[in-house]
Structure 1
């Protein structure tokens, strides 16, 4: 089975906090949802579980939630 496509999400400044990126990319509905996803261990960054909502993302890092993937781009 092929991997799902990665959504490129333009960001104005780098780095961006994971919680902000989840909202911006549409992987989370809002800040509360982003926090819940992170706390539940459902967010992967570059293939590793990330449990810090304030983790700093750089351009090109891949964030995955429930099979959907997105990455910040410049």
Structure 2
């Protein structure tokens, strides 16, 4: 199942997204989470919490697939 995530503005960072979805509770936790659990962004491994996620991107994290609108 693909979950849709609406971005308010031009983009959201990966760290902000992880906090928004309650996967982590802080930016520091996001850094450690991504070191131990790299995610797939548009089919590529991504571990930078500052990576900008934009409309049309697809992300796989914690066993869930997200599409950004």
Q: Does 1:35 align with 2:31?
A: yes
What TM-score, normalized to structure 1?
A: 0.74
In structure 2, the gaps of 5 or more residues are none
> Cα–Cα, structure 1 residues 27 and 72, in superposed 2: closer, same or farther, change >3 Å?
farther
What TM-score, normalized to structure 2?
A: 0.78
Q: Which residue of 1 aligns with 2:63?
A: 67
SS at the partner of 1:35? helix
Contact 1:60 1:71 in 2 (8 A): yes
Equivalent residues, number = 68
Matching residue within 19, 23, 26 for 2:19: 23
Contact 1:41 1:50 in 2 (8 A): no
Contact 1:63 1:69 in 2 (8 A): yes
Distance 1:14 1:28 in 2: 22
Q: Which residue of 1 aligns with 2:52?
A: 56
- Cα deviation for residue 27 of structure 1 reads 6.0
